[in-house]
Amino acid sequence: MCLKRLDIQGFKSFGDRLSLELNPGLTVVVGPNGSGKSNISDAISWCLGEQRPTTLRGSRMEDIIFAGSDKRKPVGLAEVSLVLDNTSQIFSLPFNEVSISRRLYRSGESEYFINKTPCRLKDIQALFMDTGLGRGAYSIIGQGKVDEILNSRPEERRSVIEEAAGIVKYRHRKEEAARKLSSAQQDLDRISDLIDELAARIEPLELEARG
Ligand code: ATP
């Protein structure tokens, strides 16, 4: 999978529109401390659906909207788009390029898009499942994350390995199917109770009808 372009506007320190073309190979972002390097990886995590402001180093989600600088006024909305290569059909969509966008207004309203078509966060999460790029997946390894993975409990480490092995999608489907089965079982139990209840009334009603 190859990330081709990253467009950021109004996100954290990026008051002006920034369009980063990422060519094949390695891209390195260099800059002094506090110049906003980590804001680029935050933008990627956020666009992929990150819901926890603390993971994005803020306290409320609104903190990610550009709050203004000496030269520029604050803005009312943040938007980040990722353009990914899909020539190898890693995403089951019939396009050679897939773009994912997320928008947040100061009012708190949030929007997600796949190829510029509005969608739900759930659709984006489903698209990235098992690709290694979804929220909490292993594609974004921040400072201290390697240590965290090595020192994590076996079941936590298992989730990283399962994502890499590409079986998360199937585990999710299994859990969803189990939930549906349990709800169907509850319906069946209810129907069976009703049948018992009605069956008990047949005889007295029959007697009543004859008499
Ligand atoms: P490090 O090398 O320590 O990771 P960095 O170069 O990655 O640092 P960041 O910590 O990512 O820098 O960037 C912090 C910069 O982003 C600060 O200058 C901060 O003022 C700016 N910033 C963060 N959120 C906003 C916002 N909502 N509006 C404007 N500027 C913001």
Encode pLDDT of 57-68 as tens digits: 889 999 999 999
CB-based contact 45:135 (threshold 8 Å): yes
Q: Measured from the CA of 143, which atom of ligand 1 is nearest?
A: 4
Residue 14 CB less than 6 A away from ligand 1 = no
* 184 vs 91, residue with greater confidence: 184
Q: Is the pLDDT of residue 137 over 70?
A: no
Give the mean model confidence (pLDDT) for residues 12-31.
92
Does residue 120 sit in helix, strand or coil?
A: coil
Q: Where are the domains of the chain?
A: 3-135, 141-166, 168-211
User: In the prediction, which pLDDT does 60 show?
Assistant: 93
User: In the prediction, which pLDDT does 108 show?
Assistant: 92
Q: Which residue has the tokens 């906003």?
A: 36
CATH topology of domain 3-135: Rossmann fold (3.40.50)
Residue 158 gets the label, from left (phi > 0), alpha (psi -120 to 50) or beta, of: alpha
Q: Is the pLDDT of residue 186 over 90?
A: yes
Q: Lowest mean pLDDT: which of 41-50, 103-112, 142-151?
A: 142-151
**Sheet harboring 3-9: ordered strands across?**
18-21, 3-9, 77-85, 97-105, 110-114, 117-119
Encode pLDDT of 22-42 as tens digits: 988 888 999 999 888 999 999
Q: Is the pLDDT of residue 207 over 90?
A: yes
Residue 34 CB less than 6 A away from ligand 1 = yes
Q: Is the pLDDT of residue 126 over 90?
A: no
User: In the prediction, which pLDDT does 87 show?
Assistant: 92
**Ligand 1 pocket test, candidate residues 35, 56, 79, most atoms within 8 A of CB:** 35
> In the predicted model, what is the mean pLDDT of the chain?
90
Q: Is the pLDDT of residue 136 over 70?
A: no
Residue 31 CB less than 6 A away from ligand 1 = yes
Q: How many Å is the maximal CA-CA distance in the chain?
A: 97
Q: Measured from the CA of 65, which atom of ligand 1 is nearest?
A: 27
* Bridge-based pairing state of the strands 97-105 and 110-114: antiparallel
CA of 39 to the centre of ligand 1 (A): 6
Partners of 148 in the β-ladder: none
If one counts every other C-beta atom within 10 angstroms of the C-beta of residue 98, the result is: 18
Kindly tell me the burial class for residue 89, based on how many C-beta atoms sit within 10 Å of its own C-beta (0-12, 13-18, 19 or more).
exposed
Residue 119 CB less than 6 A away from ligand 1 = no
Kindly report the pTM of this predicted structure: 0.76
User: In the prediction, which pLDDT does 135 show?
Assistant: 61
Residue 8 CB less than 6 A away from ligand 1 = no
